[in-house]
Chain A
Amino acid sequence: MLKVAIKEMKGYFRSPVAVFMTVFFPCLLIYVLGTMLQSLDISDHSIGDIKIQYNLSDTDKYNAEAFESFITGIDMVKAEETSDKDNALSLTDKGEINAYIELHGSDIKMFTGDNDTINRALKSMLGSYNTMADTYKNIAMVNPSALQDVISKDISETSYVEQNGLGVTRSMIDYYAVSVIVMMIFMSGITGQSEVFKEEKNANTYSRLLLTTTPKLSVFFGKVIGSIPMSVITVGATMIFAVVFFGANYCSDILGNVLLVVMLLSVSLAATALGTVAGLVMKIPAASVLMPICWQMLFFSGTFSKEIFIEGYSTSLPPYLIQQAAFDLTLFGDGSGAIVVTLVSLAIFVILTIIGAAVFAKKKAV
């Protein structure tokens, strides 16, 4: 088993394509997304003033003050408080104001007009307000003394891109770094691993492997174990690259970072096991089926749109859940989601590996 695993590792480290795809490609993506796209986080054209009316009659004093100070602090927003909802809605319909917003406790309800660009900008602002409000609440709960530092800093226009949380200055690279790793796990982990036995067949070594006195299961587990360093390197290299070259921040403490790495590795193992089984079961090239599925899952999870403007199609898809757990851990220091994802991933890995071994044991060599 170990001999097969070592051979697999040699194959990985000596393959420029494999090393590029699992190490350099994710780093390149971070570079592209983290550097080039970050400079594109500006509007394409000026949308001018945004006229809104808001109603704070159904919220408490603190939420009202927080919201009011937020919304009136944005130059482009011309906000006016009102208690006449019907009139505000009518004005919104006529296009005389762009939106009517009312607060119910900490919940925000917004009625918008038909200007999509302004609607999106408002939605982004309110999203940012919600995130900040959550952050303040978390800081207040976790580290109240840090609250003073955060409050004392001015909120500039770049704060839509950079957020302050848990005493760490956040930028989009923090999101991109996690998103790219998740993408690589799905793309490279699942689709790449689905090809491992096919590669043996292409090299005509599959039959030769099975003709030896080494048991079939040893060959199978050797192939699975041999793929683990690839996962470790992909996750590790991407994280280190993002930190060293782009100053990405993950968790504020070592334990959180260890949990993040463990979670991503567990997900990676589950993905490779899934790829292995799919490659064994499918008669057609598994990658041709898995690749589009993975892309669609990533797209509908809102993988690269998270925390920007566009929401994902579903919040129940694995890429979304994994990223959500990672962001909860890195941004808010909440590791409960990461622990659940880790345990579920490890369970999936074990179950799929057993299924894969059973399938492989029954599979004919010719």
Chain B
Amino acid sequence: MAFVEVKKLIKNYGEFCAVDNLSFEVEEGEIFGLIGPNGAGKSTTINVITTLDDFNGGSVTISGLDIVKNCSQIRGLVGVVPQEIALYPYLTALENVKFFASLYGLKGKELHESAMKALQFTGLADKVDMKPKKMSGGMKRRLNIACGIAHHPKLIVMDEPTVGVDAQSREHIMNSILTLKEKGATVIYTSHYMHEVETICDRIAIIDHGQLVASGTEQELVSMITDCRTIRVKTKWSADFDVNKLTTTLSALPGVNGASVDENVIKIDVKLTENDFSYIIDEIRKFGLPLISVNCETPDLDAVFLALTGHDIR
């Protein structure tokens, strides 16, 4: 049984259907990406999963517990890192983390240790007495995460946790999420940054207009729109060079769908399943051609999103 099961979820706001028969599953210990443009229904879905909002149809279970019947238990299992910085400016970093963790029932020594661990985990151990108003954007984001994980939730829901942060903090946050996964946490992650989703998510769901467009691993999603990637090799040949022989030879190689040339660039379409191209490069070398540059172009999630929804994510 999946750790999170969303089945035929429907959420209406009056006449407007924000989530329309949405279904997906999140396995225990995986990082699950939820991507979609603004208004796609991501935040609404997250609000329902985290018990913040009710819904009009379908069902949601977390760790086998129905979120309607076991609301209080579910809240103890879930940690939320909201998109907005949700901190008290007049409390120190440690006080902020301790306050939110205490609302989950932690107290005494356990509370203090958990709060300190959360701050260490987010790289803020030396900022315990600093108030958020004196922190940089990146530090606030990290403190925002610390407040969401200090009570040791099994499921962590992160809604665009890296919005507006510098590269260093983003890197730190990405690594932190991967560490959370290593420690056994299940993560639902939403972001506008496709690169982040590609980097850390095990599986991804694309949502648009409240409906699930596609879901799967990155490779599975890419394979929905194409079965190949393109290798472009820039080289140089003389006027009497037999280009046809080169393209015929390359096309005959296993895993290659076809080859063509355009001026001094050889374009080779390779099956997605092929991850080692060295034999293709070796074959080109046999023709005595110099390798000026080699580019491998794989369709990314942006391209997948565009192909599946007909519009850009932003």
**Footprint of B on A, CB under 8 Å?**
3-4, 7, 10-11, 14-15, 203-205, 207-214, 364-366
Contact = CB atoms under 8 A, between A and B. Distances in A.
B47 interface: yes
Contacts of A4: 103
A220 B274 CA distance: 60
A349 B189 CA distance: 45
B91 A208 contact: no
Contacts of A3: 99, 102-103
B52 A365 contact: yes
Would you call the interface of chain B mostly helix, strand, loop, or mixed?
loop
A213 B88 contact: no
A4 B85 CA distance: 19
B51 A211 contact: yes
Nearest to A215: B72
Contacts of B54: 364
Contacts of A10: 90-91, 95
A212 B54 CA distance: 16
A121 to B, nearest CB: 53
Contacts of A364: 53-54
Contacts of A213: 72, 75-76, 103-105
A208 B105 contact: no
A203 B100 contact: no
A208 B90 CA distance: 17
A212 B50 CA distance: 10
Contact of B100 (A11, A14, A208): A208
B88 A11 contact: yes
A7 B82 CA distance: 21
B80 interface: yes
A196 to B, nearest CB: 13
B86 interface: yes
A14 B90 contact: yes
A207 B104 contact: no
Contacts of B53: 364-366
A210 B88 contact: no
Contacts of B95: 10
Contacts of B89: 203
B90 A212 contact: no
Most interface-central of B54, B99, B147 (chain A CB within 10 A): B99
B88 A212 contact: no
A246 to B, nearest CB: 32
B72 A208 contact: no
Contacts of B100: 208, 212
Nearest to A3: B102
Nearest to B78: A211
Contact of A207 (B76, B86, B105): B86
Interface string B76-112: 1010101011111111000100011011110000000
Give the top 3 A-B pairs by smallest Cβ distance, nearest first.
A212-B103, A204-B84, A204-B86
Nearest to B132: A203
A205 B78 contact: no
A14 B75 CA distance: 30
A11 B78 CA distance: 27
B88 A211 contact: no
Interface string B40-65: 00000001001111100000000000
A211 B87 contact: no
28 contacts: A3-B102, A7-B91, A7-B99, A10-B91, A10-B95, A11-B90, A11-B91, A15-B90, A204-B82, A204-B85, A204-B86, A205-B87, A205-B88, A207-B80, A208-B82, A211-B50, A211-B78, A211-B80, A212-B75, A213-B75, A213-B103, A213-B104, A213-B105, A214-B103, A214-B104, A365-B53, A366-B47, A366-B53
A213 B91 CA distance: 21
With most chain A CB atoms within 10 A of its CB, the pick from B75, B85, B100 is B100
Contact of B52 (A7, A11, A204, A210): A210
A26 B47 CA distance: 43
Contacts of B80: 207-208, 211
Query: Which among B51, B53, B72, B90 has the greatest number of chain A C-beta atoms within 10 A?
Result: B90
B140 to A, nearest CB: 11
Given A214-B104, A366-B47, A366-B53, 4 more contacts: A3-B102, A14-B90, A208-B80, A213-B103
A108 B96 CA distance: 66
Contacts of B75: 211-213
A115 to B, nearest CB: 58
Given A212-B103, A213-B104, A213-B105, A203 B78 contact: no
Contacts of A366: 47, 52-53
A353 to B, nearest CB: 21
A304 B112 CA distance: 51
A10 B94 CA distance: 14
Nearest to B74: A213
Nearest to A18: B90
A27 to B, nearest CB: 23
B159 to A, nearest CB: 11
Contacts of B99: 3, 7
A205 B86 contact: yes
A14 B86 CA distance: 18
B100 to A, nearest CB: 7
Nearest to B50: A211
A178 to B, nearest CB: 32
In this complex, the member of B100, B103, B105 whose beta carbon has the largest number of chain A beta carbons within 10 angstroms is B103
B52 A207 contact: yes
A7 B88 CA distance: 9
A267 to B, nearest CB: 28
Contacts of B84: 204
A208 B86 contact: yes
B78 to A, nearest CB: 7
A15 B47 CA distance: 32
A59 to B, nearest CB: 65
A364 to B, nearest CB: 7
Contacts of B147: 208
